[in-house]
Amino acid sequence: MQAFDIKKGHFKTIEGDKLKELMEDFFGEAEEIDGKLQTSFGALQRLAVWTDGKVLFVDTEMQQGVDDTTALKTIRAYNTFMERATGFTSKQRRDRLQKKAKKGQT
C-alpha cells in the first residue's frame, strides 16, 4: 500500500462519487468494498483506492507474466488515472515519495 499526496485544491475533482467515476473511465467497472474502491485491469489483478481527503491510498496486486502490450497499456492507464486523481505527474509523485522517504515519513 502506498499513500500519495493530493495536490492542494485538487481534492474537489475526486470527492464523493467522482473518484469511482474516474476509476470507471480508465479501468471499467469499479465496486466499493469495505470503504475502498476496487477494480482490475490488464496486469492489475486488483487495484484498491481510498482517500482521507488529503492523501490517496493505493493498494495493488499485479499479475505476473503478461505480454508487453498488456503491460504497457496497464502502465499508461494507471499513470494517467493517478495524475488525474492526485493532480501530480508520475515524476512529481516519485519525487514527493523520495522526499518523504529521506525524511522517514513513509
CATH 3.90.700.10 for the 2-99 domain, yes or no: no
Q: How far is CA 30 from the centre of its chain?
A: 13
What are the residue boundaries of the structural domains of the chain, listed by start?
A: 2-99
Contact assessment for residue 5 and residue 55, using Cβ atoms and an 8 Å cutoff: yes
Per-residue pLDDT of the chain (106 residues; tens, 9 = 90+): 999 999 999 999 999 899 999 999 999 999 999 999 999 999 999 999 999 988 999 999 999 999 999 999 999 999 999 999 999 999 999 999 899 889 886 5
SS3 59: strand
